[in-house]
Amino acid sequence: MLAAPLAGCTRGSGNADTSAVPAAGSATTAFAQPVSVQNCGRTETFDAPPQRIITLNGHVTETLIALGAGDRIVGDAYPDSPPAPEIADTYNAIPQLSAKFPTAEQVLDQRPDLVVGGMTSAFSDKDGRGRDALEGAGIPTFLFSEYCGAGFTGLDVLRDDFTQLGEVLGTPDQAQHVIDTITAGLDGVRARIEASGAAPVPTFFYDSGTDQPTTIGTRGVGSVIAEYAGARNITPDRAKPYFSTSWETVGERAPEAVVVFDYGDETAQQKIDFLKSQPIMATTPAVQNNRFVVVPLADMFESPRMVRAADTIARGLHPSAFANEG
């Protein structure tokens, strides 16, 4: 894996500069004592805050910027969508190693002292980016917990992940602020719905698929967002973030609304047009009443964007709860 480095895609000119460690704000000194965290069954120990970080998913990049480590990210990959406006300048200044996941050589070429992934596929063993391989090269790793253990069962998972990252990065105050902001934002959305007296709306979450639809299960960020947004997920059949179901199952459960995830080469409108033409979906109240809500898939991961996703869905399902905004 240490053979000739490969040039990656970048937003600017050339690869990330490996000749000097980037500035790291206030997190520049060694810890008073080593910091150890338990992440997805692994123990990671740090003597000092990492100074050369690679992020392997767009929502991870945005989260680490929010946690105060944006100036220490020397390369990122797999941008999900345009960055959130409030962090766009910092995000766009980070060199992009690859439009998808980078090769192992591209990762190693940047001499990172931490690699953070948001999905299991970020740490692909067959592509040489497995956690064992990277840690064998002396590079600590961190995986967002939606894709390990019991999965993302509630905000306690986010609190644990972001608290640990704040400890590792040397930015515990920023981490707590992010946690508090997300928690307050989601609680605020739910409070508006509860105050209106509205009941949860039976909702089908459509990711993709024509022969079989891919939807959300009960062990992912999508399920948690649905709860805060006043949606009753009609497919709580699998303890997974995403899984394939059948059109017959969806039709039998008669969703009153459909949340469409917007990403990839197929537009959200193309997905909606397909659902309207699908014979079984055409019989559902959601399609007959043209009740669709579009959400960027990038908003459906463990990140500060969760609040925007819940707010978007809630406004689509419960407009009366937001009718009297000042």
Which amino acid, one-letter code, is at 264? G
Distance CA 50, CA 72 (A): 8
Cα dihedral: 242, 77, 301, 127 (round 10): 30
pLDDT at 9: 43
pTM (2 d.p.): 0.89
Which H or E element spans position 179?
A: helix 172-196
On whether the CB atoms of residues 301 and 221 are closer than 8 A, the answer is: yes
Domains of the chain, each with CATH number or no CATH: 35-178 (3.40.50.1980), 199-317 (3.40.50.1980)
State residue 314 phi and psi, 5-degree precision: -60, -40
Per-residue pLDDT of the chain (326 residues; tens, 9 = 90+): 223 333 334 454 334 443 333 333 444 578 999 999 999 999 999 999 999 999 999 999 999 999 999 999 999 999 878 888 889 999 999 999 998 999 999 999 999 999 999 999 999 999 999 999 999 999 999 999 988 888 899 999 999 999 999 999 999 999 999 999 999 999 999 999 999 999 999 999 999 999 999 999 999 999 999 999 999 999 999 999 999 999 999 999 999 999 999 998 999 999 999 999 999 999 999 999 999 999 999 999 999 999 999 999 999 999 999 988 75
pLDDT at 15: 46
Sign of the torsion formed by the C-alpha atoms of 65, 70, 76 and 82:
positive
